[in-house]
Structure 1
Amino acid sequence: MNRVVVVGAGVLGLTVAHELAVAGHRVHVVADRAARDSVSAVAAAIWFPHAVALEPDVLESSRVTYDRLTKLADDPATGVVMRSGLVRVRRAETDLSWTSAVPWHEPVAEGVRCTVPVVETSRYLSWLGARVAALGVSTTWGTVSLPGRQGAEALPAAVAAIIGEQPDAVVVAAGLRSGALLGGDDEVYPIRGQVVRLANPGLTEWVTDEDNPGGLTYVVPRTDDVVCGGTGQIGDRDETIDPATEEAILRRVRELVPALADQPVLSRAVGLRPARTNRRLEMIGELVACYGHGGSGFTLSWGDAARVAELLG
């Protein structure tokens, strides 16, 4: 049984902490913000590999996560529901390898219809946090930083200074900050995502349209609202709401789903997806890198957490 510190408390950090605790490790989470304040809370959180390279191990983690979320959907307390919908396909060369992880999918004229898990983020993150705590995982709120030009080898000591104990291993799942904590990985970059949440007029089916001429467009109904997006602004770190962007999003989603035409705005948000040239999941000495998931944090979470647990034995 090892003392493992997980840096980050978004959906990846919490899921990794869960699987490590189940595996018998003593786990401590260190983070500068709670899941409800992270980009995970902004996500539409539909199972779909978005803004991540579809490599074989990514597809395998997607499949494992699909299966796990499907099981969790049996418990209403988790906030996971299975919903059918449409992936609009506008280009013949669109990569559809993700369908290998989806038990039911059907090609149609507009694209691909399929059934996937949809996560209601506030309920799910609350449930996951409670499960992690029940497993004995402790949490310390603080910012891990490496002063000056210190490399990743200084990370365990920086973590020990916060929790008062030297860890046997450190898992870096800190989103955009992960690259800096592992020696200045300059392949990490933000993808700005803006969403607007409308009242739900009774919709149950979702639709995504990545190649919409007006920009990335998706409509994901939840119990009490509909998450409408979006944007995919690479390199943009602006977390303020842009009214013009919201207006453009509303035009696109209401054209795609006319039933949304008269629905009032309930809330709005911006999040920075932590992307990388390729998602990074590997062990470096006593450190484990688990970041760069782009818009696929929920989609890869359980599969990647299982791989981290495997790397740490």
Structure 2
Amino acid sequence: MADVADVIVLGGGVIGLTTAVTLAERGLRVRVWSRDPAGATTSAVAGALWWPYRIEPAERVGVWALETLAVYEELAAGACRQTAVVARSPADGSLTTGPGPGGTGVRLVAGVHGGERFAALGPWAAELKGAVEVAEGLRVVLPLLDMPVHLAWLERRLVAAGGAVERRAVAGFAEAAARAPVVVNCTGLGARELVPDAGVRAVRGQLVVVENPGIAEWFTEADSASAATTYFFPQPAGLVLGGTAEADDERREPDAGTAREIVARCARVRPEIARARVLGHRVGLRPVREAGVRIEAEALPGGGLLVHNYGHGGAGVTVAWGCARAAAALVG
């Protein structure tokens, strides 16, 4: 039967799809059940620079992040060998960069983490190739992902491995367990009600997308004590400006005042941003878990296995492959 599965993965964001790909490429029959299409998930809204941001536990995050970094570096190298689109508009000088059609959406891009120093980071930072401290902060080349492209690529890779994605919401794990002996919970913020896990909280992130006035490098500056952050990422669809980290704020509509503040903060770093035409606004709710990422297995009534992989906060992209492999190891 076409719908027979060894594993059902709940959740179609970057964590769910990466976990599903990992399992399918190990020979398991995998189906992803996702309430929303990949392009409507929180993952699709992410600015998507690789960096361990707002994620715990610190002692495990470094390993997961470095495993994921190695994968992205391979994908970026492959994209460069295929087609890399880098063009400046003759009309306004705006810059467009990214992989060609059908690519992975992963590029390696240089930038600066403002105010950052190696001494304040974990042991994982010693593995960053070519990273140097400069007056402004830490300068390094890192993966920057075009998430709509990357999510579509993950879905294609899953299908190529024999898996499938279904638009389907679930009210409980038993529904999935009735269709497969293993269920993997990658529901992000949805785990709050589904598990239920009261330790999962929404941290709101708002972004502004503007026409790129010719900026080819990214920049970030974050204060963990503030809900306001400053960053810009050159993406193919425009320059993504951020941002916010508003705990327990679940407003999904962009706030006009917040958008103006984001543009103003970014323009203090690069004044030309102040004159850039606004193309759109984005809001995403990061699934932060107070106890950190949960990768854990438990038995289900009837003998099934439930594996949890949720609580990645603002760094799901950064740890996706490392966490997928850790979860897959629990599946067996």
- Aligned equivalents of 2:56 and 2:127: distance in 1? 15
Structure 1 pair 101–235 and aligned structure 2 pair: CA distance change class (3 A) = farther
Equivalent position amino acid for 1:272 in 2: L
Secondary structure of the structure 2 residue equivalent to 1:83: strand
Q: Name the residue aligned to 2:254.
A: 241
Equivalent position amino acid for 2:198 in 1: D
- Aligned equivalents of 1:137 and 1:58: distance in 2? 28
Indicate if the aligned counterparts of 2:227 and 2:246 stay in contact, CA closer than 8 A: no
List gaps (5 residues or longer) in structure 1: 147-154
264-273 vs 206-215, which moves further: 206-215
Indicate if the aligned counterparts of 1:3 and 1:25 stay in contact, CA closer than 8 A: yes
Q: Name the residue aligned to 2:232.
A: 219
Secondary structure of the structure 2 residue equivalent to 1:273: strand
From 264, 269, 284, give the equivalent of 2:298. 284
Secondary structure of the structure 2 residue equivalent to 1:241: coil
Structure 1 pair 93–244 and aligned structure 2 pair: CA distance change class (3 A) = farther
- Aligned equivalents of 1:53 and 1:62: distance in 2? 11
| 2:209 is aligned with 1:190 | no
Q: Name the residue aligned to 1:269.
A: 282
TM norm structure 2: 0.85
Question: CA offsets per residue over residues 83-115 of structure 1, 9 Å max, x none?
Answer: 111111279984454413422211122221111
Secondary structure of the structure 2 residue equivalent to 1:57: helix
Displacement of 1:217 after TM fit?
Answer: 0.9
Question: CA offsets per residue over residues 163-221 of structure 1, 9 Å max, x none?
Answer: xx531111000110113222x21110000000000111221111110029782111111
Structure 1 pair 48–129 and aligned structure 2 pair: CA distance change class (3 A) = same
Question: CA offsets per residue over residues 251-272 of structure 1, 9 Å max, x none?
Answer: 0011112231211011111010
Structure 1 pair 101–90 and aligned structure 2 pair: CA distance change class (3 A) = closer
- Aligned equivalents of 2:119 and 2:141: distance in 1? 22
Displacement of 1:68 after TM fit?
Answer: 0.1
- Aligned equivalents of 2:133 and 2:199: distance in 1? 35
Secondary structure of the structure 2 residue equivalent to 1:145: coil
User: After TM superposition, which residue ranges in structure 1, 4 or more long, deviate above 3 angstroms?
Assistant: 90-98
Equivalent position amino acid for 2:214 in 1: G
Question: CA offsets per residue over residues 243-296 of structure 1, 9 Å max, x none?
Answer: 000010010011112231211011111010011111111112211110110110
- Aligned equivalents of 2:20 and 2:227: distance in 1? 39
Equivalent position amino acid for 2:310 in 1: Y
Indicate if the aligned counterparts of 1:4 and 1:26 stay in contact, CA closer than 8 A: yes
- Aligned equivalents of 1:99 and 1:82: distance in 2? 17
Equivalent position amino acid for 2:106 in 1: V
Q: Name the residue aligned to 2:317.
A: 298
- The aligned length equals 299
Q: Name the residue aligned to 1:138.
A: 164
Q: Name the residue aligned to 2:44.
A: 41
Equivalent position amino acid for 2:9 in 1: V
Q: Name the residue aligned to 1:149.
A: none
| 2:325 is aligned with 1:311 | no
Structure 1 pair 228–137 and aligned structure 2 pair: CA distance change class (3 A) = same
Secondary structure of the structure 2 residue equivalent to 1:78: coil
Q: Percent identity?
A: 35
- After superposition, residues 144-155 of structure 1 pair within 5 angstroms as 144-146=170-172, 155=173
Displacement of 1:309 after TM fit?
Answer: 1.5
Secondary structure of the structure 1 residue equivalent to 2:289: strand
Q: CA RMSD in A?
A: 2.0
Indicate if the aligned counterparts of 1:7 and 1:172 stay in contact, CA closer than 8 A: yes
| 2:104 is aligned with 1:78 | yes
Indicate if the aligned counterparts of 2:69 and 2:143 stay in contact, CA closer than 8 A: yes
Equivalent position amino acid for 1:225 in 2: G
| 2:122 is aligned with 1:105 | no
| 2:3 is aligned with 1:4 | no
- After superposition, residues 43-82 of structure 1 pair within 5 angstroms as 43-53=46-56, 55-73=58-76, 74-75=78-79, 76=99, 77-82=103-108
Structure 1 pair 91–115 and aligned structure 2 pair: CA distance change class (3 A) = closer
